[in-house]
Amino acid sequence: MIIPILIASLISSINAVSIVSRSQSYSQPAVLGPQTTITIGNKVIAPDGFERAATVVNGMFPGPLIAAQKGDNFAIEVVNELKDESMFKSTSVHWHGIFQNGTNYADGTSFVTQCPIAQNHSFLHSFSAPNQAGTYWYHSHYSVQYCDGLRGALVIYDPDDPLGYMYDVDDASTVITLSDWYHVVAPVLRHIIGTTANSSLINGLGRYVGGPASDLAVISVEQGKRYRMRLVAMSCDPNFQFSIDGHNLTVIEADGQLTEPVVVDELTILAGQRYSVVLVADQPVDNYWIRSLPNLGGASFVGGTNSAILRYQGAPQVDPTTVSATQIQLAETNLHALINPGAPGIPGYGNADINLNLQITSPNGTFYVNGTAFKPPTVPVLLQILSGAQDASQLLPNGSVVVLEANKVVELTLSIITGPGGPHPIHLHGHTFDVVQSAGNSTFNYVNPVRRDVVSAGVPNQQMVIRWTTDNSGPWFLHCHIDWHLDAGFAVVMAESPSDTAAHVNPVPQDWDQLCPIFHSLSPLQLGGGGRFSYEEAANMSTKLFPPSPLP
């Protein structure tokens, strides 16, 4: 009798999958392991019902989930098969949140840690993340390329998770990606000051205002179970107000760092940030709206925009009729690191070994950090250091490299003096940091602040203060994670102990050495991005343009 029962259960599960798949459920997404190949190519897709060519990973947007276990070694071959002339044909892929301690060359940051990977070439990223577990992501770090689609989630699971007792389900089906989407290619939009997304997507699906009622993502849950939902903000620009009607969310992780559990029913998540929240499926069997409202003018939930569906097993396949009634908004100052809490160094503002102040101004759309707009150097900063440059005066770009001594506590105050488009999410590569002052908040916390890798610097007349220890020699990018702002100069390089870097990253792979000669041999046609036609197209769309600029 076991065999017929087994066959019957298999058939019923297959039927269930086929029914769910028609509603675009995310229950069986593609998953890759830590040793894999990802192919960057072009494909026409319509995630919000509008067809356009995009830059995709393995033919998919978002790219497939890369899943690993704590302690795994990564070996990810990035193969460039880009062909579309209207978009960039070179690429690089950054593994956001991975420290790359000793492997700065694998960080994937164009013109900081490597030259881009040319069309029809590849590069193997070999690295480990021995003490890291949590929710991360990967995306292009070449100009504004990730806005055209090169973005995906990366999760390192911890079989001994200290908060594992709080949830029953934590797998590919509980990763929730939030992204913005554009109907015009990024090489055109980068010329426009203040570009705006056409739609926002949840797990790669959504609708735009005035568009068709295209499929929405469905996340399936079983009544009585507890789910670790991993939220990943893959946005190029907006932040999102995230909530699920009728359900509380218990925050247990921020950017790969466990937090003391905090119960909320709504949270704001900025570009580049991640949160794990525990959702208890304790409501009546039904459909509930998942809401992800971008901070864009006129954004709403009309017509199913900025929405997805939480569907309990047994609920009919219909749109929810639930309403939003959120009351408990997450405040960053209520988040506290669970493991080894406390900012490094002597408590008190200005008491670190190195106290830095960065002031951001943007008088004309271009962003200046202490008076200098970041312009990518032709020779990556890491290659400059390995070639013997040690001092800030020797390192390019001039005025955009801050040299830091080894094993010092850094306290960075970043202030927005002028600058549109805030709040600005600030990301530091190679580290997490302790947020001792959150933007818009007057209090300091050195005892148990949240530890993360992307933090809001707020809006004009606000500041944030963070601390970290310089224990990872190499050049690390610090930048606004609104990709249009990064492209417009909102970045600096933190060069940690350049004199130690050659020994710390030894040996650099031979293939890494070949990236620059190959890239610098490319013609404008081989670079793609539409050439001068991209500027002409932008001029047809808007009068608010940056001055013409060469291809990155």
Residue from 121, 247, 427, 431 carrying the catalytic annotation:
427
pLDDT digits (tens, 9 = 90+) for 206-221: 999 999 999 999 999 9
- Catalytic residue at 96? yes
Instruction: Examine the residue annotation and report whether 431 is marked as an active-site residue of this protein.
Output: no
Give the N- to C-terminal CA distance of the chain in Å, as an integer: 66
- For the cut 50, the answer to whether the pLDDT of residue 308 exceeds it is yes
CA 314/CA 506 separation, integer angstroms: 56
424 is known as an active-site residue: yes
| Beta carbons of 230 and 153 less than 8 angstroms apart | yes
Residue matched to tokens 């939003």: 324
Determine which one of 76, 236, 252, 482 is catalytic.
482
Identify whether 504 is a catalytic site residue. no
User: With the C-alpha atoms ordered 232, 234, 237, 242, is the resulting torsion angle positive or negative?
Assistant: negative
Query: Which one of the listed residues 429, 433, 477, 519 is annotated catalytic?
Result: 429
| Contact of 153 with 232, CB cutoff 8 Å | yes
- Cα distances from 278 to residues 154, 165, 253, 258, 415, in angstroms, run 19, 11, 10, 12, 34
429 belongs to the catalytic site:
yes
Instruction: Tell which phi-psi region holds residue 474, choosing left (phi > 0), alpha (psi between -120 and 50) or beta.
Output: left
* Rounded Cα gap, residues 516 and 115, in angstroms: 5
Q: Is 139 among the catalytic positions?
A: yes
**pLDDT in the model for residue 9:** 37
Identified catalytic residue from 61, 127, 477, 490 = 490
Out of 121, 125, 191, 481, the active site residue is 481
**474-480 sheet: strands from edge to edge:** 401-404, 491-496, 474-480, 425-428, 454-456
Of 38, 202, 236, 480, catalytic? 480
Q: Which of 424, 426, 433, 519 is catalytic?
A: 424
Among residues 74, 88, 94, 125, the one annotated as catalytic is 94
Q: Which of 121, 139, 191, 247 is catalytic?
A: 139
Q: Is 191 a catalytic residue?
A: no
231 residue type, one letter:
L
**480 in active site:** yes
Q: Which pLDDT belongs to residue 171?
A: 98
Catalytic residue, candidates 121, 247, 431, 485: 485
Q: Please determine, for residue 375, whether its predicted confidence score (pLDDT) is greater than 50.
A: yes
* Whether 336 is catalytic: no
Q: d(Cα 325, Cα 345) in Å, to the nearest integer?
A: 42
Per-residue model confidence as pLDDT tens digits over 9-37: 333 333 333 233 224 544 457 899 999 99
**pLDDT above 90 coverage of the chain, percent:** 92
pLDDT recorded at residue 549: 83
Catalytic-residue membership of 99: no
- The structure's pTM equals 0.94
Distance CA 443, CA 102 (A): 36
How far is residue 540's CA from residue 550's CA, in Å, rounded to a whole number? 19
User: Is 94 annotated in the active site?
Assistant: yes
- Strands 73-80 and 35-45, by their bridges, are parallel
Give the count of beta carbons closer than 10 Å to the beta carbon of residue 498.
26
Round to whole Å and give the CA distance between 149 and 69.
26
Q: Which amino acid is at 466?
A: I
Which is more confidently placed, 420 or 314? 314
